[in-house]
């Protein structure tokens, strides 16, 4: 497949996917989509991303989707959470414009990780980092992490990310003048994000994303255990005020 530019895989065997990608050196893929029915372990995801870095042209890949098709079949959260070390091989692909990652158990990232991501992928127009649906500890990404995306990703219009919006920094801390900011983000999906008060979050978001038009959160998941469901209901109501 010397000229293959788009590859779509739907397979439950990580060794098969790793083996297929490892067959050829210098894939010139533009689009890669991989779907599995069962959420992979973090170690398996790391293998896929590592072989991508080793075997694919770093300048050609612009779109990557890595997701599960059945969210009711999930690993232990401790085994499936994606950390920056797992993501780092993908930072080599500087031309990425669309990144959709749905590992099932969410991500364990902080603001510095998001800053590194934003610097590595400045051409992003869509970034979806799906959360765990309240199955894992709250995200360590704060509103400051969103500031990094607004600063470095000047084409980003669609963002899905879990964050801790319970701490709102001073507006001057953004270093962004609302009158001159051109961050084009229009849609923000906050997944299972934490929030304690709506008004200051609204003010901060409008300062770094003056074009934002829509903020959405997770629909109520009635299959959650009682405590997680009550937490989600509180977050749902507050985010709807945003």
Domains and CATH numbers, the chain: 6-241 (3.80.10.10)
Q: Report the mean per-residue pLDDT for the chain.
A: 84
Q: What is the pLDDT of residue 178?
A: 47
Q: Are 115 and 143 in contact (CB under 8 A)?
A: no
76 falls in which pLDDT band (50, 70, 90)?
A: low
| Span 99-110, average pLDDT | 88
Q: Are 192 and 234 in contact (CB under 8 A)?
A: no
| Span 2-17, average pLDDT | 85
How far is Cα 51 from Cα 25, in angstroms, rounded to an integer?
10
In this prediction, what percent of the chain has a pLDDT beyond 70?
82
Q: Are 115 and 80 in contact (CB under 8 A)?
A: no
Q: What is the pLDDT of residue 159?
A: 97
- Assess whether pLDDT exceeds 80 at residue 20: yes
Q: What is the pLDDT of residue 38?
A: 74
E strand or H helix that includes residue 16:
helix 14-22
In this prediction, what percent of the chain has a pLDDT beyond 90?
47
CB-count exposure of residue 78 (10 Å: 0-12, 13-18, 19+): exposed
- Assess whether pLDDT exceeds 70 at residue 11: yes
How far is Cα 242 from Cα 235, in angstroms, rounded to an integer?
11
pLDDT tens track for 160-219: 999 999 887 655 555 555 444 667 999 999 988 888 999 999 988 988 899 999 998 876
| Span 121-145, average pLDDT | 86
Distances (CA, A) of 20 to 34, 39, 42, 104, 211: 12, 19, 19, 23, 42
Least confident of 30-34, 53-57, 174-178, 195-199: 174-178
pTM: 0.89
| Span 37-61, average pLDDT | 90
Identify the top-confidence range among 38-47, 91-100, 183-192, 206-215: 91-100
């Amino acid at each position: 497949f010397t000229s293959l530019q788009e590859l779509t895989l739907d397979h439950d065997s990580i060794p098969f996917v790793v083996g297929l990608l490892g067959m050829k050196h210098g894939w010139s893929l533009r689009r890669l989509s991989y779907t599995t029915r069962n959420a992979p372990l973090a170690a398996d995801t790391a293998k896929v991303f590592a072989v991508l870095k080793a075997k694919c042209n770093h300048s050609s890949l612009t779109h990557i989707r890595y997701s599960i098709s059945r969210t009711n079949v999930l690993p232990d959260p401790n085994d499936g959470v994606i950390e920056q070390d797992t993501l780092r091989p993908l930072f080599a692909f500087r031309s990425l414009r669309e990144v959709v990652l749905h590992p099932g158990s969410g991500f364990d990232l902080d603001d510095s990780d998001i800053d590194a991501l934003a610097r590595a992928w400045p051409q992003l127009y869509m970034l979806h980092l799906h959360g765990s649906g309240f199955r894992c500890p709250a995200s360590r990404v704060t509103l400051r992490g969103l500031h990094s995306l607004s600063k470095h990703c000047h084409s980003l219009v669609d963002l899905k990310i879990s964050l801790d919006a319970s701490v709102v920094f001073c507006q001057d801390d953004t270093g962004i003048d609302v009158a001159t900011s051109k961050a084009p983000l229009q849609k923000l999906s906050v997944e299972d994000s934490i929030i304690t008060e709506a008004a200051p979050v609204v003010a901060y978001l409008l300062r770094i994303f003056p074009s934002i038009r829509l903020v959405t959160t997770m629909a109520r998941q009635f299959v959650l255990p009682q405590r997680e469901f009550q937490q989600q209901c509180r977050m749902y109501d507050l985010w709807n005020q945003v």
